[in-house]
Structure 1
Amino acid sequence: MTIALLIVFFYAIAMWLVFYKYRLLKFNIAWGVVTFWVGFHVLFLLIVFLRFYTPYTIDGHVIRQTIQIAPRLPHPTLLEEVFVAQNQKVKKGDKLYQFDRTLYAAQLEEAQANLASAQQNALILEENIVLARDSVNEARANEQFANEQVNRYSNLVPRGGAKQETLDKWNAQLAGAEAQVAEAEANLKKAQLATDAKLDGVNAQVAAAQAQVDQAVYYLDQTTIYAPEDGMIISQQARPGLVVGGFRIGAIAAFVADADPYFLATFYQEHLKFVEPGQPVEVSLDFYPGQIFTGKVKSIWEGTGQGQIKPSGRVPDFLFMSPQGRFAVEIVLDDDPALKRYPGGAHGAAAIYTGGGGEWVAVLRRINMRLYAWINFIVPFDV
């Protein structure tokens, strides 16, 4: 809009000089129509050239990565201490919040006791195998002795050397011994099956108890929240006495990271026809009136929310969708690629110079950018 007004202004001055100041031509209806027609086309072509060869937007922002600070506690837990103030810089690993540890420390002790019991039971299972093997050996020895006795008396009874009652007695003892062998072998198999119940070579009960200990340690560790990386917490609202966990959904604070910020500017889709990564860019931030920052196009985000239909049971309603969504362009600034001195949310204008249309198109856009930068000294007008 600014460029259009400037073009109209200078064109009007030129016509005034030609027709009234120096009277190079005599103004009449014909010249009036020609003047308007030429001026309209000049304005139209300049605007088209500017829009496509030097895309411009006032919708640019510094974006900083944020991390939602959400306690991962399964039970309602009291917040005891807050170690960070509003907008205070912190380093990775610094303490942020301390929650009550009583319940989780008790759960850890219980899990450790269960682990010790499971480990002892695993040793008992090993001893049960030894006892079961001894029982099998004893039962087999009894079976062998009873079998020998049956064979002996089976030879003596027909010859009158022993009574039939004695042979019947040893036959009954042999049957009992065979049953004892079967029972002992079954007990040995059960003991072996109990011992063979393992996960990655560890007794199943011990593995389950160890998992409970690990879970208890995890939740105990979660009672202390540390800074995930360098950054700060914006708008510190969590206070001692706050209860979290259980059915609470959502974060208690937003952590703004120092690393990997970027400048994002959105453009109308048709204006990106000639834009490619690596092309020069000028940025004017409202935070720094009168200054122009140079940079380059890093990438074009080729997608908007209009390109996504969320899974649901409803048929998409396209009547209420916006006719056109803007596309975002990520820009890297030359003087501070890490954007360390720019706060998140800093707003500004950006212009991309594609190199098309001639240098005069770029000159007009540079004038536009500098007008925007200097007008920030007085806009907005509230004083």
Structure 2
Amino acid sequence: MLGVVAITLAYLTFIWIVFVRFKWMRFTPTWGLISAFFLLHLLIVPLVGTRMQSPYSTDVRVVRHTIQLVPRLPEPTMVTEVRVKENMPVKKGDILFVFDQSIYKSQVRAAQAAVVAAKQNAKILEADIAVAKDSVARAQSELDFAKVQQERFTTLASQRAGSQESADEWTSRVNSSEASLAEAQESQKRAELAYASQIDGVNTAVIQAEAELAQAQYYLDQTQMKAPNDGVIVNLQVQEGMVSGILRVGAIATLILDQDPYLIAAYRQENLMNVRPGQPVVVAINTYPGKHFTGKVDEIWYASRRGQYTPSGNLPLFPDIPLHTEARLPVKITLDDPSIQLGIGVGGATLILTSDNPFTWLGQISLRTYTWARWVYPLPI
């Protein structure tokens, strides 16, 4: 900037000495055109420097995080209470809507009963193992006795001291006792396998029943929709008596969060050549005409939807895509004072100060002209 001023002064001095002081030459129209052309280019230099050293944008908007409030219920449920109003501030944990709880309370009670029954069944399975072991022991004793008797009567029959029919009868009883023992042993295995169906020492039927209880309790809790964070309720679409739930598409209200608002400013691509995160920013907000605020560059989003194509087997047809128009890149800006009220979607202007270069004075004038012009009505400046 100082170089431009020096060159301008030197050229004016040259004109004054040659054409005014000593009158060595006559100031002709040709010299007038040359001088105008020279001075015009010197005036363009600050304008070009301003674009690079202090980028200015009026394509600015306030962005706030929003949460779509959608009921998390498994079936259509009637709204019994609406405890909020449009544009009403709420705190995290405040109850916003209450839904009919009768069905979900019944489901919780049924799930609680299922948990108790599953725990009792687990105890029964443990008792079944003891019963099966007793049955195995009894069958083993009967088999041992039958074998002794079989051997005894077989010996007597061989010595013709007893009948062969008695020996054959005890042989049949041995076979029957062996079958009974095998059946008792299988019953014991089944009882042990049923009892061994555990995860971390807890019967799987109990775990399943407890999971169903937790799900039923979750849906019962969802009959009271609470604010997930501090914010303001807008777009309220529900009233008492309406039915909401799985068959309803979309949210019944929107919560605009209080925390972490920021501004997005769109800049031409070449204007971001010297922009870096952390640089100071002067901000004008339309809801505060005549005022300006300080902030800083938080992030530069080097991304544009123009560079994204939907995967398909079709080759891109570039005449259908307006490549001749330049895509601007967004810059995320945060204000130094978090107490400033920023309405979502509010516009404004931003001036990024990439350095202390004197070129920034033109941008400072532009920004202050913008914010003071918001007082002028009806001129849409």
What TM bracket, shorter-length normalisation? 0.7 to 0.9
Name the counterpart of 1:103: 103
Name the counterpart of 1:125: 125
Instruction: Give the 5 Å matches for 1:236-247.
Output: 236-247=236-247
Change (3 A) 1:315 1:124: farther
CA distance in 2, matches of 1:312, 1:105: 49
- 2:330 counterpart (312, 328, 331): 328
Deviation at 1:85, TM superposition (A): 1.1
Query: Equivalent residue of 2:296, what SS?
Result: strand
Name the counterpart of 1:219: 219
Deviation at 1:177, TM superposition (A): 0.3
Change (3 A) 1:129 1:380: farther
CA distance in 2, matches of 1:127, 1:332: 68
Residue 198 of structure 2 aligns with an amino acid whose one-letter code is: K
Question: Residues 59 and 348 of structure 1 are in contact (CA less than 8 Å); yes or no, is this contact kept in structure 2?
Answer: yes
Name the counterpart of 1:5: none
Deviation at 1:341, TM superposition (A): 2.0
Deviations 1:61-101 (A, max 9, x none): 22111111010111111111110111111111111001111
Deviations 1:124-180 (A, max 9, x none): 211111111111110000000001111222222222221111111110000000000
Name the counterpart of 1:367: 365
Instruction: Give the 5 Å matches for 1:60-209.
Output: 60-209=60-209
Instruction: Give the 5 Å matches for 1:303-318.
Output: 303-311=303-311, 316-318=316-318
Determine if the alignment matches structure 1 residue 278 to structure 2 residue 301. no
CA root-mean-square deviation: 2.4
Name the counterpart of 1:260: 260
Residue 275 of structure 1 aligns with an amino acid whose one-letter code is: V
Change (3 A) 1:365 1:81: same
Deviation at 1:314, TM superposition (A): 5.5
Query: Equivalent residue of 2:248, what SS?
Result: coil
Change (3 A) 1:277 1:186: same
Question: Residues 261 and 339 of structure 1 are in contact (CA less than 8 Å); yes or no, is this contact kept in structure 2?
Answer: no
Deviation at 1:187, TM superposition (A): 0.8
Determine if the alignment matches structure 1 residue 228 to structure 2 residue 228. yes
Deviation at 1:235, TM superposition (A): 3.4
Change (3 A) 1:186 1:233: same
Change (3 A) 1:299 1:181: same
Tell me, which stretches of 5 or more residues in structure 2 are unaligned? Answer: 1-7
Deviation at 1:240, TM superposition (A): 1.2
Residue 62 of structure 1 aligns with an amino acid whose one-letter code is: V
Deviations 1:159-210 (A, max 9, x none): 2221111111110000000000000001111111111122333222222111
Question: Residues 53 and 274 of structure 1 are in contact (CA less than 8 Å); yes or no, is this contact kept in structure 2?
Answer: yes
Deviations 1:257-297 (A, max 9, x none): 11111122111111101111122211111111111212221
Name the counterpart of 1:381: 379
Residue 132 of structure 2 aligns with an amino acid whose one-letter code is: A
Query: Equivalent residue of 1:296, what SS?
Result: strand
Question: Residues 262 and 339 of structure 1 are in contact (CA less than 8 Å); yes or no, is this contact kept in structure 2?
Answer: no
Change (3 A) 1:254 1:316: farther
Residue 136 of structure 1 aligns with an amino acid whose one-letter code is: V
Change (3 A) 1:375 1:340: closer
Residue 292 of structure 2 aligns with an amino acid whose one-letter code is: I
Question: Residues 55 and 351 of structure 1 are in contact (CA less than 8 Å); yes or no, is this contact kept in structure 2?
Answer: yes
CA distance in 2, matches of 1:365, 1:252: 44
Deviation at 1:339, TM superposition (A): 4.9
Q: In the comparison of the two structures, how many residue pairs are matched?
A: 360
Name the counterpart of 2:300: 300
Query: Equivalent residue of 1:166, what SS?
Result: helix
Q: TM-score, normalised by structure 1?
A: 0.87
CA distance in 2, matches of 1:251, 1:115: 35
Query: Equivalent residue of 2:186, what SS?
Result: helix
Question: Residues 298 and 334 of structure 2 are in contact (CA less than 8 Å); yes or no, is this contact kept in structure 1?
Answer: yes
Question: Residues 261 and 342 of structure 2 are in contact (CA less than 8 Å); yes or no, is this contact kept in structure 1?
Answer: no
Residue 176 of structure 1 aligns with an amino acid whose one-letter code is: S
Name the counterpart of 1:343: 343
Deviation at 1:310, TM superposition (A): 4.1
Change (3 A) 1:313 1:144: farther
Q: TM-score, normalised by structure 2?
A: 0.87
Residue 331 of structure 2 aligns with an amino acid whose one-letter code is: V
Name the counterpart of 1:3: none
Question: Residues 75 and 245 of structure 1 are in contact (CA less than 8 Å); yes or no, is this contact kept in structure 2?
Answer: yes
Question: Residues 261 and 334 of structure 2 are in contact (CA less than 8 Å); yes or no, is this contact kept in structure 1?
Answer: no
